[in-house]
Amino acid sequence: MTTTTLTPMNPWAPPRLSWRWWPVFLRNLLVWRKLALPSVVANIAEPLIWLVAFGYGLGALVGTVNMGTPGGSVAVPYILFLASGSICMSAMNAATFEALYSAFSRMHVQKTWDGIMNAPVRLDDVVLAEMLWAGFKSLFTVSVILLVMLGLGITHSPKLLVAWPVLGLVGITFSCIALVFNALAKGYDFFSYYFTLVITPMMFLSGVFFPREQLPAPVLLFSDLLPLTHAVQLVRPLFLDQWPTDAALHLLVLVVYAIGTFWLALALTRKRFAR
């Protein structure tokens, strides 16, 4: 018998990832396929109701919004302004719901993760699979909403092809953030704090519904720190067939949020499971 002495694992150690995330992702995909239609309807109905109510209802009062672009100030129809922001919000919400409620059900209620980890699959790979799965579901939801927007003739910008992968990154970023709160949750009630204190302010302060420039200076400063702000700054110009300014900076913010919170989520989840 060799004498490898066991040392307790450091929860902050770098992620140890392998291809074993794939069968876990595939498991979620299989379950979702069984429940796909009701889940698609639920995911897509709400964002479209927002769009119709605010875009056409409020849009009739607002008319156009003036937006600064590299080519000068442009008057943008409110429905287009809103659609380009709310698609980012939809990416955020879809990823958040999946990485909070659904992941928590699998982790805590059904003990699916425990079962998986009795097989040769590491917790790190399970968390990665959940993160990518929530990102995938978010991208699916966003894709269907984009198709509806195209059908309604809200935009025909060819740069939507670029917006699509950007929205995929937005979903990934928010699924990483949500997994942090998943790791800390004792029950479903905990998530209402996250929605009230994080998601709702993000919705209203990131320039989804109105130009951020109208916010008071201190709030604007706070708004600059929010990942959804950067998502909107990237996606909105693409809806207008323009290239975003400071694209590299906005992308970097999203990527840093994603990597930082994934690491944090993993450390907290490791602590949770190291009972």
CB nearer another protein, residue 28 or residue 86: 28
Our finding on whether 17 is near another protein (CB under 8 A) is no
Among 15, 17, 27, 148, indicate the residue that binds another protein (CB under 8 A).
27
Among 36, 111, 196, 241, indicate the residue that binds another protein (CB under 8 A).
111
Distance between CA atoms of 164 and 168, rounded to whole angstroms? 6
Our finding on whether 61 is near another protein (CB under 8 A) is no
Our finding on whether 119 is near another protein (CB under 8 A) is yes
Q: Which residues pair with 67 in a beta bridge?
A: 74
Q: Are strands 64-69 and 72-77 parallel, antiparallel or unpaired?
A: antiparallel
If we measure between CA atoms, which residue out of 207, 234, 232 comes closest to residue 219? 207
Helix axis angle for 78-97 and 160-184, nearest 10°, is 40
CB nearer another protein, residue 236 or residue 270: 270
Asked whether 258 and 173 are in contact (CB, 8 A), the reply is: yes
Closest approach of Cβ 229 to another protein, in Å? 37
Asked whether 268 and 180 are in contact (CB, 8 A), the reply is: yes
Token pair for 70: 């590299």
From the list 83-91, 111-119, 135-143, 169-177, the region that binds another protein by CB under 8 A is: 111-119
Our finding on whether 24 is near another protein (CB under 8 A) is yes
C-alpha 221 chain-centroid distance: 22
Among 118, 161, 189, 192, indicate the residue that binds another protein (CB under 8 A).
118
Among 15, 17, 20, 148, indicate the residue that binds another protein (CB under 8 A).
20
Token pair for 212: 């951020």
CB nearer another protein, residue 50 or residue 136: 136
Among 107, 121, 134, 179, indicate the residue that binds another protein (CB under 8 A).
121
CB nearer another protein, residue 75 or residue 119: 119
Our finding on whether 37 is near another protein (CB under 8 A) is no
Closest approach of Cβ 12 to another protein, in Å? 14
Token pair for 181: 């709160």
Asked whether 51 and 86 are in contact (CB, 8 A), the reply is: yes
If we measure between CA atoms, which residue out of 235, 240, 188 comes closest to residue 65? 240
Chain residues binding another protein by CB under 8 A are 1-9, 20, 23-24, 26-27, 30-31, 34-35, 110-112, 114-122, 273-275
